[in-house]
Amino acid sequence: MSVKAFELVPAVERDLLMGDKARINIECIECCGKHLYVGTNDCFIHHFLLDEVTSSKGKLSYSAQKLLHKYLGLKKPVAELRAASALERLIVLCDGIVFLVDMVTLETVPSAAGGGAKIRGVTAFCINENPVNGDPFCVEMGVLSSKRRTVQIYMVYEDRVQLVKELTTPEQPCAVSLDGYFLCLALATQYMILNYNTGASQDLFPYNSEERRPIVKRIGREEFLLAAPGGLGMFANAEGVSQRAPVNWSESVIGAAVCFPYVVALDESFITIHSMLDQQLKQTLSFRDGHILQDFEGKVILASTKAVYVLVPLPLERQIQDLLASHRVEEALILTEGAQRNIPKDKFQILHKRILQQAGFIQFGQLQFLEAKEHFRKGQLDVRELISLYPLLLPASSSFTRCHPPLHEFADLNHLAQGDQEKVLRCKKFLISYLGEVRSTEVANGCREDVDTALLKLYAEQDHESLLDLLASDNACLLADSVPWLEKYHKYFALGLLYHYNGQDSAALQLWIRVVDGDLQDSTRSDLYEYIVDFLCSCFNLDLVWKYADWALRKDPTTGVHIFTRRPVCKGQTQLNPDDVITYLGKHDQALLLYLEHLVLERRIQKEKFHTHLAVLYLERVLLLLSQLPTDEEKLTRARERLQALLRESNLYRVQFLLGKMENSEQLLLERATLHGKLEEHDKALHILVHKLRDFPSAEAFCIWASSSRDSAYRQQLFHLLLGVYLDGNPPGKSQTAAGGGSGDLEMAAVDLLNRHGEVFDAVRVLRMLPEGWSLQLLRPFLGRAVRASMHACRTSQIALGLAHSENLQLLHDRLKERKKPIFVSEKKGCHLCHNTFSEPSVVCLPGGVPVHTHCIAQRVRDSPTKRQLTNSSNHT
Amino acid sequence: MPETSKMKKPDVKVVLLGDMNVGKTSLLHRYTERKFKDTISTVGGAFFLKQWGPYNISIWDTAGREQFHGLGSMYCRGAAAIILTYDVTNWQSLAELEERFLSLTDTANHDCIYAVVGNKADLTDPTAQQSQDTDGMSEDQTECEDRTEPEVLSTSLTSSASPKQVTHEDAMALYGRILRYKGLEEKSSLPAEKMCFETSAKTGYNVDTLFETLFDLVLPSILRKRNEYQESPTVDLEECRGGSSKRARSSCC
Ligand SMILES: Nc1nc2c(ncn2[C@@H]2O[C@H](COP(=O)(O)OP(=O)(O)OP(=O)(O)O)[C@@H](O)[C@H]2O)c(=O)[nH]1
Ligand SMILES: [Mg+2]
C-alpha cells in the first residue's frame, strides 16, 4: 500500500550549526518564509536563510546560508521559538521565561515603559492561528504556566505582552493549542476543549499524559489532531466530535502535522505518513534521532538533534501517477477527489477527467470493461483515444492524435493482449458495444465519422449482424476508408448499401451484379437478385433502370419484369412511359408478354396498340407451338385459352389484322369464328363452327356470347341463323367433308338446339322452316314449350285487354259524372298539388273533379311511373 | 472505500458499540460490502458513509478493546442511533454492554435510538445459517468457509458447538434497563421487540434488516436537524418551548 508522497530533503547540515561540538543539540525550530531559526540547548538562536534550489533534473534541494547566531545569555536550552512576523518579533521560551527578540538582529526587546515584555513561569505556549482579535499588529497567545492548573491568554505587541484572560483547569495542563476561542488542552489524564470566552468546556477522551507525551495539534479551523491511547492519531473538533476516522500511529509519536491529504507523524526512528482519506499508512521514511516535526505555513520541517530537514511533498499529480502506474486505480481516484478542495475548480476538473480516463484504461487493460466504461464516461473520454488502440480502425483521414502525455501504456491492442487472441476478441467485442452505445450521444460529437467508420470496420471484421442496420440507417461512415475493409471481408452487399447511402447507386448495382454473377463471393443475401430487382423497381434514376434492367431480364425475365410491373406509383416521380418499356423489352419476348399482360389485364389500359400487340403475341405463341412437332398439347391448350379469352373479352384489338394473320390457319378455326363474331359476320362464324369444326356446343355458345350485350331480338336473330345453318345442310361445293351421315348430325343439332333453347325462337318461323318429314315426337319439348308459351301470351293479353276495358268504362263513368256539374276554377282556388292559385283556365281534372295545374300533374306523372295511367284518363277542360 | 473519500458532510451518525470480537466490523462489512471477510481487531475506529436516499449517514465502527474504551464517548457524541452489539455465544459480552458501554452513550443525542444486537446467531440458530440476503450471498459464504477450518465449521453447524448463552429475552430485558437508565418511558419509546435483533454477519442473517430499520427510524432526526439549520431562531425557540411536543412534531413530519 505504499506510495511515495514525500521526500526528505536536508536543509541545514550539522556542520553549519554546531560543527564538531558534540554536546550541542537542536531544541526548537521556527520557519517564516525563507527565514529559519534554530534554538539550541546552549542558549543560542541561529538564523538561516533557506533557499530552494531546483536542479536541472527537477530535483529539489535547499541551500542554507547562516545569517546570524546569538547567545541569549540564560545558559538554558531555548525551549520554544515562534515568529510574529507582523511585529518582526520572535517569541522565545527559555528557562521558563517568554520574551521577545528582534527577528533581524536577534536582540532581546527591552520592556516598554508601560508594561513588561516578559512572562515568567511558563511551561508551554501556543499562538492562535485563527485570532479573534482583528488587530494585525497583535498576536494572541495561549500560555501554560507552572502556576497550578491555569491557562492564560496573552496579547503580544511589538514591545509588550498583555494578559487578557486566565482560566483554571480541572487538572494540570501540559500541552495547548488555540483556535479562535477554543483552547485544546492536554491535561494529566485527559484532553479537553475549553472556550476561553464562555468558559464552557468539553471533555474529549482520557489520556495519561504522564505516561505518554500528549500531542495537541491544530490542523484546521476548529479541528485538532491528538495523540490517543494505543498510538492513535485522533481527530476532534471544537464540539468534541470526531469527524474523521483515526489513524494508527506507533505508541511513541513525538510530533505530528497535517499536510493534506496526509497526516505526517514522527517517532524515534520513523516518519509515518497516513492518508486522511482512507486512514491507510501510505509511506514510511526511516529517520534516526527524530526530535521535532512541525509544519510552518504548509511546509513540514523536521529536526534531529543535529540537523534540519524539509519533508517535501511530491506534486499531487506525480503521486497520483505513481498510484496509477502500480494500477491502484481506486486509491488514485480517492487521492484526486480528496484534493478537490486544494485545487482551483477548473484545474481540478481537468486533472480529475484525466485521472478518470487513465483509470479507465488501466481497467480496460485488465479487461474490467464495466468499470472502464464507467470511468470513460465520467472522464468524458474522447472515444478516439480508445479507437486508436485498435490498429487501422480510425479512418486515414482522421485528424486525431493521441493526447500527450499518453493516457495509457499500450501501443495498441496487440501490445495490450500480448498475442492472446481471446483477449483481443474480448476487447473488440467491448469496443463494438461501447461505440454502439455512444455513437448517437454527444460523446461522438465532432468525431461521428471516426466512430461510425470504426464501428463499420469492427462489424465487418467480426461478421456482426448489426453491420447492415448501421448502413441502412443514418450513418457517417467514410466511404473511402470503408471500401477496402468491406472488400477484405467480402461484405459486398454491405458495401453496396454504403455506395447507395453515398448516392452511388450505379457502383452499388455493379457490385451486386458481380456477386449475383458469381464473380464475387458474399453470402449475406441469398436473394440478392430479387433485391436488385426490387432496388431497380423503386429506383428514381431511370437511366440506371434502363442500364441494368437488361441484365436482370436476361437473368430471369419473369422476375426481372417486376422492375417495370411493380414500380410503385407515386406522385412527383417520373413515370416510365409504357411505349418506351415496350420498345426496351423488344428483345425479351417473355418479359414483353408479361409486361403487356400487366398493362392490358391488370392495369386495364384501354389502348388498341397494347391489346393488338398482346393478341399478336398470344397468336404467335400459339402458332409457334403448332409448328413444333410433336405438339405439346397441354401448352398449346393453355396458350389457346389465353388467346381466345383475350379475343373474346377485348374490344380494342384490330380484328381484321389478326384475322389476316390466321386466315390460313385451319387449326385456329375457333379463334377465327370469334374474330368473325367480333366483326358481326355471324354467318361466317357459324359456318366455321358448324361446318368446319362441327362443334355444335361452341356454335351455341357463340350465339349466346355474340348476343350477350344485345337485346332479345338480336339473340333470336342469331339463333335463327344457327338453325338455318343447321337446316341448310352442307354448304354447296363442299360435299360431305365430315365423315359419314353429316346432314343427320346437323339435323340432330337443330333438334337439340330447338329443344334446349326453344324460348329464344319465334315458333311460327321455326315451324315454317322445319322440313315436313320431321316427327312431332322429336320436337316434343320444343313444341310443348312453344304451345305453352303462346297460350300463356294469349291469356296474358286477354287479361290485359279486359283490365283496360274496365278501366275505360270507369273513366267514361267519371267523365259523364263530371260533365254534369261544372268544375270551378278561379284565381282564389288553389291547386291541390302545389297550392298556388290558377292563373289560366286550362287545368287538369283529377278523378273526383279536383282541378290541378297542368304542369303540376305532368310533374307528378313524371316522378311516379305507377300513376302513368292518370295522364291517359285526365281531361282537359 | 471510495465512499469515505468524498468528504460529504454526514447528516446523521450511527455508532456500533460493543465488546471486542463480538463482530461489529464484520457486521459493517457485511452490510456495506455484502461479504464476510477476515477482520483484524479494530484499532481506534473507522467509519463508512452510506447514501440513504438523499441523506448521508455515517456509520462508525468502534474498537471494542479496553485500550480504546476512552474514545467511545467521543464517537457517541451527537449520535442519532447506537447499536449495542453482543455475541450470542458469550454471556459476558452482553454484561459488558451494561457495565462498560452504556455510560458511553451519555454524549449521544437526547432522542438517540438504541438497538441491542446479538451477533453470530449462525452459531446457535439454524435459521440464521440460511442467509436472508439474496444477492450473491452463497458465493461469499463459500469464500469464507474456505478460510475457516472446515471441520470446526461443520461441527458448529450441525451440533451447535457453541451453546447459546444469551437468549432473546435477556436482550429484551437489557433493552428495558437501557430505557430506564435513560429515564425513558417504556410506553413512549420504541418497543423491545422492534429494537432487539439477532444477526449473523457471517450469513447476512438480519443484517440488512437491522441497518435499514435504524435508518428509517433516524430519518425524522435528520429532517429535524436540517430544519434547525434552515429555520430562523424564532422558530427554534418555539420548538424549545414546546418541550415534550418535540417528539410529536418529529413523528408528524
Ligand atoms: N460465526 C460467526 N463469526 C463471526 C460473526 N461475526 C464476526 N465473527 C467472527 O468474530 C471475530 C471478530 O469479529 P470482528 O468483526 O473483528 O469483531 P469486532 O467486534 O469488530 O472486534 P473489535 O474490532 O476488536 O472490537 C472474527 O473472527 C469474525 O470472523 C458471525 O456472525 N458469525
Ligand atoms: Mg472491529
> For chain A, which residues make up each domain, given as ranges?
6-314, 680-820, 821-877
- pLDDT given at position A1: 53
Check CB contact under 8 Å for B75 and A242: yes
Q: Cβ distance A647 to A615 under 8 Å? A: yes
The angle formed by the CA atoms of residues A839, A840 and A841, to the nearest 5 degrees, is: 135
Chain B closest-CA separation from residue A340 CA (Å): 9
pLDDT tens sequence across A619-654: 888 888 888 888 888 888 898 898 888 888 888 888
DSSP B17-81: EE-TTSSHHHHHHHHHHSS--------SEEEEEEEETTEEEEEEEEP-SGGGGGGHHHHHTT-SE
CATH number for the segment(s) A821-877: 3.30.40
Whether the CB of B64 sits within 6 Å of ligand 1: yes
pLDDT above 50: residue B238: no
Q: How far apart are CA A239 and CA A40, in angstroms?
A: 38
Name the pTM for this structure: 0.64
pLDDT above 70: residue A736: no
- pLDDT given at position A113: 59
Q: Do domains A6-314 and A821-877 have the same CATH topology?
A: no
By three-state DSSP, how is residue A74 classified? coil
Q: Please give the helix or strand (H or E) that residue B202 lies within, else none.
A: none
- Calculate mean pLDDT across residues A442-471: 90
Q: A277, A348, A352, A375: which to substitute to probe chain B, counting the most B Cβ within 10 Å?
A: A277
pLDDT above 50: residue A838: yes
- pLDDT given at position A189: 92
DSSP at A587: G
pLDDT above 70: residue A83: yes
- Calculate mean pLDDT across residues A42-62: 89
- Centre of ligand 1 to C-alpha A229, Å, is 22
Give the rounded distance of the alpha carbon of B127 from its chain centre. 21
pLDDT tens sequence across A382-421: 999 999 999 888 988 888 889 888 899 898 888 888 889 9
Q: How far apart are CA B166 and CA B168, in angstroms?
A: 7
Check CB contact under 8 Å for A241 and B78: yes
Task: Find the residue in B nearest to A237 (Cα).
Answer: B74
- pLDDT given at position A824: 72
A346 CB-contact burial (10 Å; exposed 0-12 / middle 13-18 / buried 19+): exposed
Q: Whose CA is nearest to atom 13 of ligand 1?
A: B23
| CB burial string A128-145: b at 16+ within 10 A, e below | beebeeeeeebbbbbbbb
Q: Whose CA is nearest to atom 32 of ligand 1?
A: B120
- pLDDT given at position B152: 41
Q: Whose CA is nearest to atom 2 of ligand 1?
A: B120
The percent of residues in chain A predicted with pLDDT above 90, rounded, is: 40
CATH topology (fold) of A6-314: Methylamine Dehydrogenase; Chain H (2.130.10)
Whether the CB of B65 sits within 6 Å of ligand 1: yes
- Centre of ligand 1 to C-alpha B21, Å, is 5
- pLDDT given at position A769: 81
Q: How far apart are CA A295 and CA A218, in angstroms?
A: 11
Check CB contact under 8 Å for A242 and B67: no
At A301, list the grid cell: 520541517
What is B12-133+163-247's CATH number, 1.10.260.40, 3.40.50.300, 3.30.499.10, 3.10.450.50? 3.40.50.300
Count CB neighbours of A562 within 10 A.
19
Q: Whose CA is nearest to atom 12 of ligand 1?
A: B21
pLDDT tens sequence across A140-193: 999 998 878 899 999 998 888 889 999 999 999 999 999 999 999 999 999 999
Residues of B in contact with A241 (CB under 8 A): 74, 77-78
- Centre of ligand 1 to C-alpha B27, Å, is 8
Query: Which ligand 1 atom is the nearest neighbour of the CA of B41?
Result: 24
Q: How far apart are CA A185 and CA B154, in angstroms?
A: 54
Q: How far apart are CA A278 and CA A245, in angstroms?
A: 8
Q: How far apart are CA A362 and CA A323, in angstroms?
A: 11
Domain assignments of chain B as residue spans, ordered by start: 12-133+163-247
Crossing angle (nearest 10°) for helices A421-438 and A448-461: 140
The angle formed by the CA atoms of residues A329, A331 and A335, to the nearest 5 degrees, is: 120
